[in-house]
C-alpha cells in the first residue's frame, strides 16, 4: 500500500474553503485515493474517493493531479462541525491510516 | 445508506473476563468486515479482515487466540476479546464493505473498552 503524507494540522476560518493536501508519490495505477474524517471519539466517516478524475459530492471535492502523486480535499464552506482529523488513504490491499491532518475550523 | 452499528458502545470489565463486540451492517450485505483498534492520540490500526463464512485473516502481531472473530452472516461480525487485560483497553472500530478488494469501507461508531 502506498504511503501518504499529510500536514499534521491546519486551521481554517468558518465559511471559508478548507484545502487539505496529501502526497502519495508511490501510488500505483490501480490504487484509489480515499478520504475519511474522524470526529473525536467516533468512527471514521467516509467523505469521497477517486482514481484519476476529480470528484465532487455533497460533502467535498477531490482534486487529483494528473500524475496522481498528490491530491487535495476541498471543503467548500467549512463549518465548526467540520473540525476533525482527516485521513488520506491510498487503497491497495488494505486501508492504512496515517496520522492524518487535524483540521480546526475557527469561528 | 451504508450504515454500520456496533454494540456495545462502552464496556467496562474486570481483568480476566471476555468481552464480545458486535458489528452489524444495517442496510447492506457486507461480504467483508474489518476490525481496527485505536489507542489514545494514535491512528487506527487494522487488526483483522474477515470474509463471511471463512476464517479471519489477522495482521502481524495480533493474537488470533486472544481476539476471536466470527463473521457468520452477511450482516454480522463479532470480535471477542478473551481474558482481557488492562493493556487491551482501547477503542475498537469495525468497518464493512459490500465486497472485498477496493470497495469503500463504512465504519461503525466504535466500542470503547476499559479493562480494570
Distance CA A27, CA A2 (A): 5
The per-residue pLDDT for A2 is 65
* Cα nearest neighbour of B4 on chain A: A43
Tens digit of pLDDT for each residue in B35-78? 999 999 899 999 999 988 888 999 999 999 999 999 889 999 99
SS (H, E, C) chain B: CCCEEEECCEEEECCCCCEEEEEEECCCCCCEEEEEEECCCCCCEEEEEEECCCCCEECCCCCCCCEEEEEEECCEEEEEECCCCHHHCEEEEEEEECCCCCCCCEECCCEEEEEC
Over range B7-21, report the average pLDDT: 96
Mean pLDDT over all residues of chain B?
93
Q: Is the pLDDT of residue A1 over 70?
A: no
How far off is chain B from A64, nearest CA to CA, in Å?
Answer: 18
With contacts defined as CB-CB under 8 Å, which chain B residues touch A41?
91, 110, 112
Is A44 within 8 Å of B34 when comparing Cβ atoms?
no
* Percent of all residues in chain B with a pLDDT value above 90, rounded to a whole number: 85
Tens digit of pLDDT for each residue in A7-39? 999 999 999 999 999 999 999 888 999 999 999
Of A31, A43, A94, the CB nearest to B107: A43
Is B43 within 8 Å of A99 when comparing Cβ atoms?
yes
How far off is chain B from A37, nearest CA to CA, in Å?
Answer: 11
Write out the three cell numbers for B44. 487506527
Tens digit of pLDDT for each residue in A51-96? 999 999 999 999 999 999 999 999 999 999 999 999 999 998 788 8
Least confident of A89-98, B12-21, B90-99: A89-98
With contacts defined as CB-CB under 8 Å, which chain A residues touch B93?
43-44
* % helix, strand, coil for chain B, step of 5: 5, 50, 45
Tens digit of pLDDT for each residue in B64-75? 999 999 988 999
Mutation target among B39, B102, B114 for the A interface, most CBs of A within 10 A: B102
The per-residue pLDDT for B1 is 67
Is A46 within 8 Å of B104 when comparing Cβ atoms?
yes
Distance CA A54, CA A59 (A): 14
For every residue of A29-60, DSSP letters joined together read: TTPEEEEEEE-TTS--EEEEEESSS-EE-SS-
Amino acid at each position: 500500500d502506498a504511503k501518504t503524507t499529510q500536514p499534521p494540522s491546519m486551521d481554517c476560518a468558518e465559511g471559508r474553503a478548507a484545502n487539505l493536501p496529501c502526497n502519495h508519490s508511490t501510488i500505483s495505477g490501480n490504487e484509489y485515493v480515499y478520504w475519511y474524517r474522524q470526529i473525536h471519539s467516533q468512527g471514521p466517516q467516509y467523505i469521497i474517493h477517486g482514481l484519476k478524475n476529480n470528484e465532487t459530492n455533497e460533502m467535498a471535492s477531490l482534486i487529483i493531479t494528473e500524475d496522481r502523486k498528490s491530491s487535495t480535499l476541498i471543503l467548500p464552506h467549512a463549518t465548526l462541525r467540520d473540525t476533525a482529523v482527516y485521513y488520506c488513504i491510498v487503497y491497495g490491499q488494505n486501508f492504512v491510516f496515517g496520522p492524518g491532518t487535524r483540521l480546526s475550523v475557527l469561528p | 445508506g451504508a450504515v454500520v452499528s456496533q454494540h456495545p458502545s462502552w464496556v467496562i470489565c474486570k481483568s480476566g473476563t471476555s468481552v464480545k463486540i458486535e458489528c452489524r451492517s444495517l442496510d447492506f450485505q457486507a461480504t467483508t468486515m474489518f476490525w481496527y483498534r485505536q489507542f489514545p492520540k494514535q491512528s487506527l490500526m487494522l487488526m483483522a479482515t474477515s470474509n463471511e463464512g471463512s476464517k479471519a485473516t489477522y495482521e502481524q502481531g495480533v493474537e488470533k487466540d486472544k481476539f476471536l472473530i466470527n463473521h457468520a452472516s452477511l450482516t454480522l461480525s463479532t470480535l471477542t476479546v478473551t481474558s482481557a487485560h488492562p493493556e487491551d483497553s482501547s477503542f475498537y472500530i469495525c468497518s464493512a464493505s459490500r465486497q472485498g478488494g477496493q470497495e469503500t469501507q463504512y465504519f461503525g461508531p466504535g466500542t470503547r473498552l476499559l479493562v480494570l
